[in-house]
C-alpha cells in the first residue's frame, strides 16, 4: 500500500503513533508535506466524516481520528514552514461559539472538529457566549470567519443582534458570519444578513472555506 | 445521605480537568465497562427478556458513575460518589409523585418489568414552538388527551408583545408568566382544571423566569413540576443547579431532564444506555430530582424510534426497574411529523417497548422535535392507549419483541427521510379545537391495524 493510503488508514484507525511514524517516513522520502496532508491524512479524515454522518463511527472515534491526524501534521509542520510551500491553516482563523443562553453544543463541537482538520485554526469560545465576547475575540485575533450555533428559538434571536452589532461597528465586511443549528434555516440566515449558512457539519466546512477565501 | 449542600462542596473540591478530557474519560470508561459486563446490542432482541443483561447494565452504570461522576462546568471539576453513597441516595429517592389536584390528579409510580399496572402517561408537545395566537388551543388539545395523568404544552415561538423571546432576557420572564397562566387556562378549557403540569415552562428555562412564573396567582398548582436539565453528557452547571434551593424549600416538584445522544460522547447504543442510567444518579445528587425524564436520541436522526434506540430504552428501563424504584418517565422521540402513519407506528413501538420494560410514558417529540407547529394529539393518544393495553394484557418482553419488530418493519427504513407531516392547524378545527375528520379516520384505521397485530382494545 502506498504511504498516502497508509496515512489515510492510520487516521481512520485513530492511530496517532502510526500517523507520526508515517509522517516521519514521508519526510525521509522527501515527499511534499502539503500534498502528504491533502492526499493522505485529509483523505482519511474525509472518510471518517462520512462514516460519522452515516452512523458507522461515533463522535469520540472521530475526535481520536482528528487527534491522530494532528499528531502526524505536527511532524510535517516545520518542513511546511521552512519551505514556505503553504500553510497548515490556509483558510485562517475561525471563531466558534454556541450563542448566548444556549447550552446545546454538540452540533457546534462537530463543526469545530471538521473545520479543525480542514485548514482552519479554531478559537472555540464554548457555549452560552455573549454577543459582545464573540465580537471582541473575532476583532482581537482578526478572524477570517465567525461561526455561531443556536438550537433554540429563544437564542437564535441573538444572531441578528450579532450581525447588527458588527454592522454598527463597521466591521461586518471584515468578519463574515456563518450561522447554523437545528432551528436555523437558509432563508432566515439570509433574512438576518448572515454571510453563510450550513445545514450540517460537512456543509459548514464548505461554507466556511468559501467565506474565508473572500 | 449525601445532601445537595455536600454536593455543592464537592463541586469545588473534585478532580480538576478540562471538559474535553472529561468527554474522553467518559468514552474510555464506558468502552471498558461494556466489555467487562458483556453488553452488546442485538438487533434480533429489541426488547430483550434477559434479566441478567438488565442487571449487568445496572451494575455497569453504577460502576460508571463511581468512575466518572458528573462534571461541573463552572468549577471544571469531576464530582464523584462512592458505591455506597449512590446506593443510599437511590434507596432514599421517591417512588411516587402526584401531579395536579382534585379529580384531575394523576399519580406516577415506580413500575416493574412486565408490570400489570398501567403506565402513567404525560401528554406533551415537548417544547415545539408555536405562535402566540395558537398557543392556548394547542395546549388545550394536548390536555384533552383522555388518558393523560399530566400534561405539558408547547413552546412560545418568536415574540412576546412584539419583542423576540430570548433566553436570559427580561422578556423571557414575561413570556414564562404568560406561558404558565395560558397552560392553566388550556387545562380549564379542556375540562381538567386540576391537571398537573409535568414540566411547567418550556420556552423559558432561566431560574429567574421559572421562579417568577411558578406562582399560584399565575395558575401554577403547588405540585406542578419544574425541570432541571443536565448537559450532555453527565455535565451540570450552577445556572441549572441554582434552581434547587428554591425548588427544595418551596416544595416544587423537581424533574431531572437528560438527553444523551447515541453516536456522541458515550459512543454507540451500549455506552449511551449506561450513560442514560448514570444520568438518573446525576439527577438525584445534583438536582434532588423527584422523578426523571430521559430522552435518549440518535444524534443524527434526533429520534429514539430506531432499533438500537428502542433496545437502549428497553435495557436502561429494565435495569432501573429491576434494581431501583426510581421514577422513569420515558420520552418517545419520533422522526415523522403529524398525521402520518409512520408517526403512529413510531410512538406505538416506543409505548410497547417502554411499558413492558418497566417505564412510564411521555409522548412525544414529533418530527425530530424542532419544526414549528409540528405537534399533534391522536398519535399521542394512541401511545397512551397502547401503553395501557400492553400492561393490561400482561404482555411479556418475549411477546413484545416480535410486535415491536413488526412495527419497526413498517417504518425504520424511512427514518432518515421521514415525512414532515402536517401542521397542527391543518389537522385541527381551530374553532372547536377538535381533530378534523380525515385525521380521525387515520387514527381509526391505525387502531384497526394495531388490533390486528394483537392489541386488545377492549381492555381500554
Ligand atoms: C457555525 O455554523 C454552523 C453550521 C452548522 C451547524 C452549526 C453551526 N451548529 C449546528 N450545525 C449543524 O451541524 C450539526 C451536525 O450536523 C447539527 O447540529 P445540531 O445541534 O442540530 O445536532 C446535534 C448533532 C444533535 N442534536 C442536538 O444535540 C439537539 C437535540 C435536542 C433534542 C436537544 C438536546 C439533546 C438537549 N437539550 Co434541548 N434539545 C433540543 C433538540 C431538538 C432538536 N431537534 O434539535 C431543543 C433545542 N431543546 C429545547 C429545550 C427547550 C431545551 N433543551 C435543553 C437542554 C438540552 C440537553 C442539555 C438535555 C440536550 C443538549 C445536549 C448538548 N450538550 O448539546 C434546555 C435548554 C438548555 C439551554 N439553556 O440551552 C431546554 C430549555 C429544556 C429545559 N427546560 O431544560 C428545545 C428548544 C425549543 C425552542 N424554543 O426552540 C428543543 C428544540 C427541543 C424541544 N422541542 O423542546 C446541525 O444543526
- The pLDDT confidence band at residue A187, using thresholds 50, 70 and 90, is very high
- The pLDDT confidence band at residue A78, using thresholds 50, 70 and 90, is confident
Interface test with chain B among A154, A155, A183, A200, by most B beta carbons within 10 Å: A154
Q: Do A62 and A98 fall into the same domain? A: no
Domain-located, residue A88: no
Q: Do A28 and A73 fall into the same domain? A: yes
Q: Do A205 and A107 fall into the same domain? A: yes
Q: 3-class DSSP state for residue A148?
A: strand
Could B267 and A60 be called an inter-chain contact, meaning their C-beta atoms sit closer than 8 Å? yes
Domain range spanning residue A15?
Answer: 3-83
Q: Do A68 and A161 fall into the same domain? A: no
> Which residue's alpha carbon is at the smallest distance from atom 14 of ligand 1?
A107
pLDDT reading at B36 higher than 70: yes
Q: How many domains does chain A have?
A: 2
Q: Do A79 and A108 fall into the same domain? A: no
For the entire predicted model, the pTM comes to 0.96
Rounded mean pLDDT, B52-60 = 98
Q: Which of A62, A83, A104 is the last residue of a domain?
A: A83
Q: Identify the residues whose C-beta falls under 6 Å from ligand 1.
A: A 101-108, 110-111, 147-149, 151-154, 178-183, 198, 200-201, 204; B 126-129, 155, 167, 202-203, 205, 227, 229, 231-232, 257, 259, 261, 297, 299, 302, 368-370
ipTM: 0.92
Q: Do A9 and A107 fall into the same domain? A: no
Structural domains present in chain B: 96-424+450-459 (3.20.20.460)
Q: Which of A52, A83, A114 is the last residue of a domain?
A: A83
Domain-located, residue A109: yes
Chain B positions in Cβ-Cβ contact with residue A53 (cut-off 8 Å): 300
Q: Do A73 and A172 fall into the same domain? A: no
pLDDT reading at B149 higher than 80: yes
How crowded is the C-beta side of B233, counted as CA atoms within 13 Å?
A: 34
Could A153 and B157 be called an inter-chain contact, meaning their C-beta atoms sit closer than 8 Å? yes
Rounded mean pLDDT, B336-353 = 98
pLDDT at B173: 93
C-alpha B241 – ligand 1 centre gap (Å): 19
A59 touches chain B (CB under 8 A): yes
Q: Do A53 and A99 fall into the same domain? A: no
**Residues B402 and B408: beta-carbon distance below 8 Å:** no
Q: 3-class DSSP state for residue B37?
A: coil
Q: What cell numbers appear for B372 in the block?
A: 414549528
Q: Do A67 and A160 fall into the same domain? A: no
> Which CATH number covers residue A197?
3.40.50.280
C-alpha A104 – ligand 1 centre gap (Å): 5
Taken in order B160, B161, B164, B170, the sign of the CA dihedral is: negative
Q: Which of A45, A63, A83 is the last residue of a domain?
A: A83
Q: Do A118 and A171 fall into the same domain? A: yes
- The pLDDT confidence band at residue A113, using thresholds 50, 70 and 90, is very high
The residue ranking higher by pLDDT, B126 or A44, is A44
Per residue in B370-385, pLDDT tens? 899 999 999 999 999 9
> Which CATH number covers residue A78?
1.10.1240.10
d(CA B111, CA B93): 14
Domain-located, residue A189: yes
> Which residue's alpha carbon is at the smallest distance from atom 87 of ligand 1?
B127
Domain-located, residue A76: yes
**Residues B28 and B20: beta-carbon distance below 8 Å:** no
Q: Do A77 and A97 fall into the same domain? A: no
- The pLDDT confidence band at residue A89, using thresholds 50, 70 and 90, is confident
Per residue in B258-302, pLDDT tens? 999 999 999 999 999 999 999 999 999 999 999 999 999 999 999
pLDDT reading at B114 higher than 80: yes
Rounded mean pLDDT, B58-70 = 98
Instruction: Say whether the peptide bond before residue B364 is cis (omega within 30 degrees of 0).
Output: yes
Atom of ligand 1 nearest to the CA of A104: 65
pLDDT at B18: 96
CA angle at B66 for the pair B60 and B68, rounded to the nearest 5°: 100
Could A157 and B23 be called an inter-chain contact, meaning their C-beta atoms sit closer than 8 Å? no
Pocket residue to mutate for ligand 1, from A99, A151, A205, most atoms within 8 A of Cβ: A151
pLDDT at B156: 82
Rounded mean pLDDT, B424-452 = 98
Domain-located, residue A185: yes
Chain A positions in Cβ-Cβ contact with residue B370 (cut-off 8 Å): 182-183
Could B172 and A154 be called an inter-chain contact, meaning their C-beta atoms sit closer than 8 Å? yes
Q: Do A67 and A120 fall into the same domain? A: no
Amino acid at each position: 500500500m502506498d504511504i498516502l493510503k497508509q496515512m489515510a488508514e492510520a487516521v481512520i484507525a485513530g492511530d496517532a503513533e502510526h500517523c507520526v511514524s508515517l509522517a516521519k517516513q514521508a519526510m525521509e522520502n522527501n515527499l511534499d508535506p502539503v500534498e502528504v496532508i491533502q492526499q493522505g491524512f485529509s483523505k482519511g479524515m474525509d472518510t471518517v466524516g462520512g462514516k460519522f454522518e452515516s452512523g458507522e463511527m461515533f463522535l469520540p472515534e472521530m475526535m481520536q481520528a482528528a487527534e491522530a491526524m494532528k499528531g502526524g501534521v505536527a511532524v510535517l509542520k516545520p518542513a511546511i514552514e521552512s519551505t514556505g510551500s503553504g500553510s497548515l491553516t490556509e483558510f485562517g482563523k475561525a471563531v466558534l461559539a454556541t450563542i448566548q443562553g444556549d447550552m446545546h453544543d454538540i452540533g457546534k463541537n462537530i463543526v469545530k472538529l471538521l473545520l479543525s482538520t480542514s485548514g482552519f485554526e479554531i478559537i472555540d469560545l464554548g457555549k452560552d457566549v455573549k454577543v459582545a465576547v464573540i465580537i471582541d475575540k473575532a476583532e482581537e485575533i482578526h478572524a477570517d470567519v465567525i461561526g455561531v450555533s443556536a438550537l433554540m428559538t429563544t437564542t437564535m434571536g441573538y444572531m441578528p443582534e450579532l450581525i447588527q452589532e458588527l454592522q454598527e461597528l463597521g466591521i461586518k465586511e471584515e468578519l463574515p458570519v456563518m450561522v447554523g443549528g437545528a432551528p436555523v434555516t437558509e432563508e432566515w440566515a439570509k433574512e438576518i444578513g448572515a454571510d453563510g449558512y450550513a445545514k450540517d457539519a460537512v456543509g459548514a466546512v464548505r461554507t466556511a472555506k468559501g467565506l474565508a477565501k473572500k | 445521605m449525601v445532601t445537595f449542600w455536600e454536593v455543592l462542596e464537592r463541586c469545588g473540591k473534585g478532580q480538576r480537568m478540562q471538559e474535553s478530557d472529561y468527554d474522553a474519560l467518559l468514552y474510555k470508561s464506558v468502552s471498558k465497562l461494556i466489555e467487562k459486563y458483556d453488553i452488546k446490542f442485538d438487533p434480533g432482541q429489541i426488547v430483550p427478556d434477559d434479566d441478567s443483561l438488565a442487571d449487568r447494565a445496572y451494575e455497569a452504570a453504577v460502576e460508571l458513575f463511581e468512575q466518572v461522576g458528573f462534571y461541573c462546568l463552572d468549577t471544571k471539576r469531576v464530582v464523584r460518589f462512592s458505591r455506597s453513597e449512590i446506593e443510599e441516595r437511590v434507596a432514599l429517592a421517591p417512588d411516587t409523585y402526584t401531579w395536579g389536584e382534585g379529580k384531575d390528579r394523576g399519580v406516577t409510580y415506580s413500575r416493574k418489568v412486565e408490570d400489570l399496572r398501567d403506565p402513567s402517561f404525560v401528554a406533551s408537545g415537548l417544547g415545539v414552538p408555536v405562535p402566540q395566537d395558537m398557543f392556548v388551543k394547542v395546549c388545550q388539545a394536548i390536555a384533552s388527551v383522555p388518558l393523560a395523568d399530566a400534561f405539558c404544552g408547547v413552546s412560545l415561538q418568536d415574540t412576546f408583545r412584539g419583542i423576540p423571546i430570548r433566553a436570559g432576557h427580561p422578556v423571557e420572564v414575561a413570556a414564562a408568566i404568560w406561558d404558565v397562566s395560558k397552560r392553566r387556562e388550556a387545562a380549564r378549557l379542556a375540562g381538567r382544571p386540576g391537571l398537573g403540569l409535568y414540566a411547567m415552562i418550556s420556552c423559558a428555562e432561566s431560574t429567574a423566569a421559572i421562579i417568577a412564573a411558578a406562582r399560584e396567582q399565575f395558575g401554577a398548582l403547588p405540585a406542578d413540576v419544574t425541570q432541571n436539565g443536565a448537559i450532555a453528557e453527565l455535565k451540570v452547571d450552577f445556572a441549572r443547579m441554582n434552581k434547587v434551593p428554591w425548588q427544595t424549600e418551596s416544595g416544587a416538584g423537581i424533574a431531572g431532564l437528560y438527553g444523551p445522544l447515541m453516536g456522541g460522547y458515550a459512543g454507540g447504543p451500549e455506552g449511551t444506555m449506561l450513560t442514560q442510567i448514570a444520568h438518573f444518579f446525576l439527577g438525584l445528587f445534583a438536582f434532588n430530582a423527584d422523578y426523571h425524564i430521559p430522552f435518549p436520541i440518535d444524534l443524527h436522526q434526533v429520534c429514539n424510534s430506531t432499533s438500537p434506540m428502542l433496545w437502549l430504552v428497553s435495557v436502561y428501563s429494565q435495569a432501573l426497574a429491576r434494581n431501583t424504584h426510581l421514577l422513569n418517565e420515558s420520552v418517545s422521540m419520533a422522526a415523522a411529523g403529524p398525521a402520518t402513519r409512520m408517526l403512529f407506528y413510531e410512538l406505538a413501538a416506543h409505548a410497547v417497548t417502554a411499558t413492558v420494560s418497566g417505564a412510564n410514558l411521555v409522548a412525544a417529540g414529533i418530527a425530530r422535535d424542532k419544526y414549528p407547529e409540528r405537534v399533534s394529539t391522536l398519535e399521542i393518544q394512541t401511545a397512551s392507549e397502547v401503553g395501557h393495553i400492553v400492561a393490561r394484557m400482561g404482555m411479556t418482553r418475549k411477546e413484545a419483541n416480535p410486535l415491536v419488530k413488526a412495527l419497526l418493519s413498517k417504518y425504520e427504513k424511512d427514518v432518515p427521510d421521514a415525512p414532515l407531516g402536517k401542521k397542527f392547524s391543518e389537522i385541527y378545527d381551530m374553532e372547536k379545537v377538535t381533530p378534523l375528520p380525515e385525521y380521525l379516520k387515520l387514527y381509526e384505521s391505525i387502531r384497526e391495524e394495531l388490533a390486528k397485530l394483537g392489541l386488545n382494545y377492549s381492555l381500554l
